[in-house]
Amino acid sequence: MNKLFFRLLIVLMSLSLIGIILVQVYWFNSSFQNNDEQFRFHVQQAIVNVSNKLQKREAYSFYDKYNRFKDSTGKAPQKKDLLEFYYVQKNTQTNETIIYSNSIIAEDYSLSSSLFNKKVDSVKLKSFSSKRTTEIYNDNKIDNSSVQNSIIPDSKIQKSGSLDILDNAQFEIFFKDIASTMPIQERVSNEILQKLLLNELDEFGIKTPFEYGIYSNGLATKIKSEKFNYDKHNTYSIPVFTDNEGTSSYQLLVSFPHKKTFLFSELLGITVLSIIFTLIIIIAYSSALNQLIRQRQISEIKTDFINNMTHEFKTPIATINLALDAIKNPKIIDDKDKVQRYLQMIRDENKRMHAQVENVLRISKLEKRELEINKENNNLHDIIDEAVEHINLIIEDRQGTITTHFDATRTSVLLNDVHFTNVIVNILDNAIKYSPETPVIDIYTENVKDFIIVKIKDQGAGMSKVAQKRIFEKFYREHTGDLHNVKGHGLGLAYVKKIVENHEGEVYVESEKGKGSTFIIKLPLIN
């Protein structure tokens, strides 16, 4: 895969993922704002209904007193030319007596018919006007019989205006003037207000805790909940107890301390699903990206492997061809010593190629679980000694040394002697290959609880932190400048790891660049 195309693909995938996440965030924010607007609308509707119901409750209360007055006087006000009604209210707390009178005066008058395109000379009309008086006395000894007496009130309020013929107009004007003089705690109670708010909010599906308060000209009254606190972002208001002029000195305020939590809870279900699906996409993206990178790395490693295998096979084949050409020489063919030497070279190079092929096949079989590994009770020290014998010729050729330090007292392990010998040989061969100077190798054993630890330490080139993490991967080889300065194909240590894990063991490496490496094998004991 072209590097530029690969990078472009990663960038596009990343931008797509970021775009999906941003769309999800935008959707959530928009939904939250819509819910906020809907919440505000429903709350406003609810408190408007509460305000109307408070007004109606008060009207019903006055209407009840109106009926009781009729019962006490024995007659109801007549809709004649003069309609007048008295109402007496005593306030024991302020020692005041309020006398309210409402008079509706009817007048007949004529109006030119030309204004109405009538064929008669004039049109008879009836006009109604209202005269409302509120008198306040600071003497609570006044009774109903005193209303007709000439007592001078301490305060007198008169209002007038035109009225409809409708009966409720007369009554509404009447009770609103009376109610405006009463303290708020006598017009509504906390219990009633809370119940009304609770019912109305529940009707609109607003099921979250709320606090309320009634303010008079910006000042708090006694009608409020214990924990009410004004917050402009979470508080809604509406005028209550409007007078006949349509104004009110009282504001009903309702706040919702957990408004954001409530709004979020409405989106919780779809938000959780959105987060889950987004996480799935992120995981899938990460997995796909990792696979792409891994496949690219594998592709590079395989290419490297092919190059190394070509190199590894090319050299022995060339050597074999040269040896065969030398044997065919008439001058050499009669020289038995030279012929034997060339035949031995052919045999050695053939073994080397065969070993490489065998390594590839063993790894393949291990991955497919087709390789049968029969395990028996073996002494690990004997296995190590046998492996050292296999590698002695190579170490002597490099004028190196292998020293064993057998400190373990328990050495019985359930293993396959052939495969485990190959494990030790591969690690030793790796140590020799990556020793630029004369190879110096030490092998240590020790017991830790029910395990035996084998440490194979060299003083070679060492490896980087990245290499330590990947050294046991198939086809992986760390390069040291020249691609082919070290013979191998990156399968030996992969084979080591597979065999050790098959024996219920662990293998890992500790290394520092320029200071050598230590391969550590941990195996369970059986005694």
Summarize pLDDT for 305-350 with one digit per residue, the tens.
666 566 557 767 877 888 888 888 887 887 888 888 888 878 877 8
Average pLDDT over residues 278-290: 83
* Whole-number Cα distances in Å, 10 to 284, 292, 299: 14, 9, 17
Q: Is the pLDDT of residue 359 over 70?
A: no
pLDDT confidence tier of residue 481, bands split at 50, 70 and 90: very low
Average pLDDT over residues 5-31: 82
* Token pair of 17 as six digits: 């993922």
* Token pair of 78 as six digits: 């007549």
Domains of the chain: 77-182 (no CATH), 374-524 (3.30.565.10)
Summarize pLDDT for 81-106 with one digit per residue, the tens.
334 444 555 666 666 666 655 554 44
For residue 234, which amino acid is it? N
Q: Is the pLDDT of residue 304 over 80?
A: no
Q: Is the pLDDT of residue 522 over 90?
A: yes
- CB-count exposure of residue 446 (10 Å: 0-12, 13-18, 19+): middle
What pLDDT is recorded for position 178? Answer: 64
Q: Is the pLDDT of residue 130 over 60?
A: no
Collapse the DSSP code of 47 into the 3-class scheme (helix H, G, I; strand E, B; otherwise coil) and give the result: helix
* Token pair of 115 as six digits: 């204004």
DSSP state of 116: G
User: How far is C-alpha 161 from the geometric centre of its chain's CA atoms?
Assistant: 65
Summarize pLDDT for 405-462 with one digit per residue, the tens.
999 999 999 998 888 888 898 888 888 888 888 899 999 999 998 999 999 999 988 8
254 contacts 197 by C-beta, under 8 angstroms: yes
Cα separation of 378 and 414, whole Å?
6
411 contacts 484 by C-beta, under 8 angstroms: no
Cα separation of 262 and 208, whole Å?
6
* Whole-number Cα distances in Å, 318 to 313, 331, 486: 8, 21, 18
